[in-house]
């Protein structure tokens, strides 16, 4: 069964770059039917979609974060990563990685999620 | 893109039914039948419970149902159980190839 696990530092200083990885076990990140994505939840707030990408490189980012986001994949490790630059306290959140499935008929949805990892931006 | 609008909280007694609304616009909910709902027990991985407005993934009880009218989607949980107490989030695909979520609704089972 496919399992996702986020990892990365829990504390990042303002203006620095937040870097997280998502390890995929029980399946391949190069699956032809899967997109991969990041979603976050600031304390006391709702979920916010960060971005989604396919292992070959096509990607879709939240317009409000696009200028600061880099998503990449490491096929050798079967994991994908998120980098968010120039962070501020507003980027403090629980960050989730997820698999996006679906198609033009059923639509797209996130059918498998990691437990999330809390990242705090503070000096 | 603006977040979808959900009530902050709803509550119900065991055995009762509750409905959570999710309001968007013609660019998201109103334009596509691509609404999904997620159940999240804090500290655990969120779980997909409804996709494509009305469809339940395998293993999700039929007590959970979804619907849509215009720019508002709804999640109904019938026969409330204690384990249904969780946060519920709606989401929609949008006209700009992005996804938007609601603010989340905390369900309390009295």
First to last CA, chain A: 39
Long-range contacts of B42-49 (CB under 8 A, 24+ apart): B42/B87, B43/A115, B44/A115, B45/A4, B45/A96, B45/A112, B45/A113, B45/A114, B45/A115, B45/A116, B46/A47, B46/A96, B46/A98, B46/A110, B46/A113, B46/B89, B47/A113, B48/A109, B48/A110, B48/A111, B48/A112, B49/B75
Average pLDDT, chain B: 96
Cβ <8 Å between B45 and A114? yes
* Chain B CB contacts of A45 below 8 Å: 103-104
Cβ <8 Å between B44 and A115? yes
- The residue-averaged pLDDT of B32-46 equals 96
pLDDT of residue B1: 65
Quick one: what percent of chain A has pLDDT higher than 90? Answer: 85
pLDDT tens sequence across B43-56: 999 999 999 999 99
- In this predicted structure, the answer to whether residue A58 has a pLDDT above a threshold of 90 is no
pLDDT of residue A37: 95
pLDDT of residue B74: 98
B66, B74 contact by CB (below 8 A) = yes
**A61, A96, A109 member nearest B48 (Cβ):** A109
pLDDT of residue A120: 98
- The residue-averaged pLDDT of B74-86 equals 98
Instruction: Determine how many CB atoms are found less than 10 A away from the CB of residue A7.
Output: 14
* Chain B CB contacts of A96 below 8 Å: 45-46
Cβ <8 Å between B55 and A52? no
pLDDT tens sequence across A59-85: 899 999 999 999 999 999 999 999 999
**B3, B45, B57 member nearest A115 (Cβ):** B45
Cβ <8 Å between B55 and A110? no
Q: Is A116 exposed, middle or buried (0-12, 13-18, 19+ CB in 10 A)?
A: buried
Please, which residues 64-103 of chain B have a Cβ atom closer than 8 Å to chain A? Answer: 89, 91, 93, 96-103
- In this predicted structure, the answer to whether residue B2 has a pLDDT above a threshold of 80 is no
- The residue-averaged pLDDT of A12-32 equals 94
* CB contact A36 to B (< 8 Å): no
Average pLDDT, chain A: 94
Indicate the pLDDT class of residue B69, thresholds 50, 70 and 90: very high
pLDDT tens sequence across A83-119: 999 999 999 999 999 999 998 888 899 999 999 999 9
Quick one: what percent of chain B has pLDDT higher than 90? Answer: 94
- The residue-averaged pLDDT of A2-30 equals 95
């Amino acid at each position: 069964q496919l399992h996702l696990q986020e990892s990365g530092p829990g504390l990042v200083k303002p203006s620095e770059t937040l870097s997280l990885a998502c390890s995929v076990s029980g399946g391949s990140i190069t699956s032809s039917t899967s997109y991969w994505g990041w979603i976050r939840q600031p304390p006391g707030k709702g979920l916010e979609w960060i971005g989604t990408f396919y292992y070959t490189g096509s990607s879709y980012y939240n317009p409000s974060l696009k200028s600061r986001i880099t998503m990449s994949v490491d096929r050798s490790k079967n994991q994908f990563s998120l980098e968010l630059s120039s962070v501020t306290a507003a980027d403090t959140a629980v960050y989730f990685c997820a698999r996006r499935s679906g198609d033009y008929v059923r639509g797209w949805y996130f059918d498998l999620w990691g437990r999330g990892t809390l990242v705090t931006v503070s000096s | 893109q603006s977040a979808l609008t959900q009530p902050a909280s709803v509550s119900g007694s065991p055995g009762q039914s509750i409905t959570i609304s999710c309001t968007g616009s013609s660019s998201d909910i109103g334009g596509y039948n691509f609404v999904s709902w997620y159940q999240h027990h804090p500290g655990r991985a969120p779980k997909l419970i409804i996709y494509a407005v009305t469809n339940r993934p395998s293993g999700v009880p039929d007590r959970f149902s979804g619907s849509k009218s215009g720019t508002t989607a709804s999640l109904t949980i019938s026969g409330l159980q204690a384990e249904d107490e969780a946060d519920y989030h709606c989401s929609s695909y949008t006209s700009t190839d992005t996804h938007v979520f609601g603010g989340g609704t905390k369900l309390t089972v009295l």
